[in-house]
Each structure stands twice: as C-alpha cells, then as structure tokens.
C-alpha cells in the first residue's frame, strides 16, 4: 500500500499547497481521500494517472475537503474517461451533492463514464477485496449543534475518519477531528496515522501514539507558519520519534 500526499493545507488557503487530498495505491488500483481546493491541479503536477482512481471518499462537506471534486469531475470528462467512478460522501451530503452536480452542469448522463454517489454512515464498510475502508464518525462538527437548532438548519454535522486496511497493513486518516478521543479507538497498532494538527492539543498526542503503538504519524492540515522543528523536537523529548510532516508529493510505503 502506497500513500501519496496530494494536498495538505490547513483551512486557510495557502499560496503553495492544495487543500486536503490523499491518494492510496494498492495492486494497481487507486483510491482518493478528500478532494479539497486545488487538488486537481496538484494531481496534474504530480503526474497522477487519475483514470486509475476508482473510489473517492469524502470525510465531510467543508470546502477545504470537497470543493475540488467538481474540477476533478470536469477534468475526467475532458480527458474522455471511461472507467466507472464511485464517490462516497456523508449521508447528509448525498442529495445536496447530486443537486450541485447538476448546478455545475456535470450531468452524470453526459460525463462519458458511470458516476455513482454512495452515502456513508457511521460504521459503513467498503471492501473490494484489495482494500477495506471503515468510516467512523467523529466530533469535528458537533460543536455547532446549538447553532443549527437555533436557526433550524437540517445539517447532521457528519464528519468521518477512515480506517484503511489491506494485506500490507493499517492506515488511519483522521480527517478533521474535534478532540484526541476521536482517535483512541481507531489508531491502535496503525502502521501509519495521518492526523490533522489544528483542532487538537498536540501536547497530549505523543503519549497517545506511544500507548497505541502507532508506528508512524504524519501530521498534516497545518498553517504555513507552524513551527515544525520545535514540535518535532518536543515529540522526540516525550519519547515519540516517528513523526513526519505532510508535504505535496510525499510518498510513503506501508508494508
């Protein structure tokens, strides 16, 4: 299993980085996790064969995790893609997403390839015999529930982390989370944890990584001015020396 970082910017647009987007390759097949702004251009810069991507998993509907999907679909249309594509989205986003496709003139009947929208609920499992993905709902958006009630919005505030397993190992992609508790039940024995660094207290992360026997941790979704040197030194001081930082084009092998 091979990971390629396509986009890793924080919620604030970066002059040099695309927003959240991660590519996993397994046995000649490719799977994408999130598709934030600028991801399609980054895929082009990295010379990714996008026709090999069979499934795209969207963690939640914040723009920095999903806004690039429309440009991706347009690119595949212009490239005359023929291979089927499945986009997995939070259940609350399923119908709005299909309406947005029509609003963007991305009519599925005209794309030239079969596009399927599949919805995710907590505990949803995907298994194509090469790769298994379990979606675990986290608390990233739950702090907005009172605001939604007061304004009578229908949003369910769904955000998912993903546990990816193959015969080669286990990868966990946290996406955005609300607190470290969101990781405790899914990160155990992970060969690689990809977790964001702006919505959690990083001071408590090293001990949790050690306790849960996480082999490597890739910290992502960081602001441009984040002090990477100091943070890595602090992790090492607390006993965790397998911290790495996401950057465009970074590839890691999980075996």
Q: What is the 3-state secondary structure (H, E, C) of the chain?
A: CEEEEEECECCCCCCCCCCCEEEEEECCEEEEECCCCCHHHHHHHCCCCHHHEEEEECCCCCHHHHCCHHHHHHHHHHCCCCCCEEEEEEHHHHHHHHHHHHHCCCCHHHCCCCEEEEEECCCCEEECCCCEEEEEECCCCHHHHHHHHHHCCCCCCCCEEEEEEECCEEEEECCCCCCCHHHHCCCCCCCEEEEECCCCCHHHHHHHHHHCCCCCEEEECECCCCCHHHHHHHHHHCCCCCEEECCCCCEEECC
Q: What pLDDT score does 240 carry? A: 97
Instruction: Please give the distance of CA 142 from its chain centroid, rounded to a whole number.
Output: 18
Angle at 63 between CA 228 and CA 20, to 5 degrees: 35
Q: What pLDDT score does 143 carry? A: 84
CB 41 within 8 A of CB 19: no
Q: What pLDDT score does 145 carry? A: 84
CA 200 to each of CA 74, 140, 213: distance values in angstroms, whole numbers, following the listed order: 35, 10, 19
CATH superfamily ID and name for 2-253: Ribonuclease Z/Hydroxyacylglutathione hydrolase-like (3.60.15.10)
CB 57 within 8 A of CB 28: no
Instruction: Please give the distance of CA 219 from its chain centroid, rounded to a whole number.
Output: 13
Q: Whole-angstrom distance between the N-terminal and C-terminal Cα of the chain?
A: 7
CB 77 within 8 A of CB 51: no
The number of residues in the chain equals: 255
Q: What pLDDT score does 227 carry? A: 95
The residue ranges of every structural domain in the chain are 2-253
Listed residue (247, 49, 255) closest to 166, CA to CA? 255
Q: Which residues of the chain have pLDDT under 50?
A: none
Q: In this structure, how many other beta carbons lie within 10 angstroms of the beta carbon of residue 52?
A: 13
């Amino acid at each position: 299993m091979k990971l390629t970082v396509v986009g890793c910017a924080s919620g604030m647009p970066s002059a040099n980085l695309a927003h959240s987007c991660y590519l996993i390759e397994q046995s000649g097949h490719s799977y994408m996790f999130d598709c934030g702004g600028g991801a399609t251009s980054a895929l082009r810069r990295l010379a990714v064969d996008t026709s090999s991507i069979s499934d795209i998993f969207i963690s939640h509907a914040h723009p920095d995790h999903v806004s690039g999907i429309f440009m991706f679909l347009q690119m595949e249309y212009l490239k005359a893609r023929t291979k089927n594509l499945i986009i997995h989205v939070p259940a609350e986003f399923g119908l709005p997403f299909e309406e947005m496709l029509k609003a963007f003139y991305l009519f599925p009947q005209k794309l030239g390839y079969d596009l399927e929208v599949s919805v995710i609920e907590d505990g949803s499992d995907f298994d194509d015999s090469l790769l298994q993905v379990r979606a675990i709902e986290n608390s990233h958006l739950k702090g907005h529930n009172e605001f939604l009630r007061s304004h009578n919005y229908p949003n369910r505030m769904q955000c998912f982390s993903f546990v990816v397993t193959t015969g080669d190992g286990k990868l966990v992609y946290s996406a955005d989370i609300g607190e470290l508790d969101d990781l405790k039940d899914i990160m155990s024995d992970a060969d690689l944890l990809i977790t964001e660094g702006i919505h959690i207290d990083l001071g408590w992360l090293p001990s949790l990584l050690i306790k849960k026997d996480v082999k490597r941790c890739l910290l992502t979704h960081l602001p441009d001015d984040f002090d990477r040197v100091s943070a890595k030194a602090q992790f090492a001081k607390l006993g965790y020396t397998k911290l790495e930082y996401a950057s465009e084009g970074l590839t890691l092998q999980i075996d």
